[in-house]
Amino acid sequence: MPESDCLFCKIRDGLIPAKVVYQDADCLAFEDINPQAPTHVLFIPRKHIATVNDITTEDREVVGSLYIGAAKLARERGFADTGYRVVMNTQRDAGQTVFHIHLHLLAGRPLHWPPG
């Protein structure tokens, strides 16, 4: 998918509104429009990377920033000690619907295993 057609790139660029809850130099986080838990935030890299399969060694810091941001937000919202889940789906069969990698932060209710 070209970057110009990417929903998350359009959110990143301010072309589509989103409730932004965190951002740094490498990532942006916003509330999911179809939350699966009381807290459901998506962390996206500012750089367009379509799937986990497309991550390169040069993307280490960018991808790491998603996890650092998620942990920071979980601490701020009081979930660091009680628990939260971070998930990154890859390809359609795993549930990826927007082809721009994104880390889901889910919290605020018991999250059972296995998911789905």
Max intra-chain CA distance, the chain: 40
In the chain the first and final C-alpha atoms are separated, in Å, by: 26
- Using left for φ > 0, alpha for ψ between -120 and 50, and beta otherwise, residue 60 falls in alpha
- Per the annotation, the verdict on 102 as an active-site residue is yes
Q: Which of 40, 48, 100, 102 is an active site residue?
A: 102
Active site members: 102
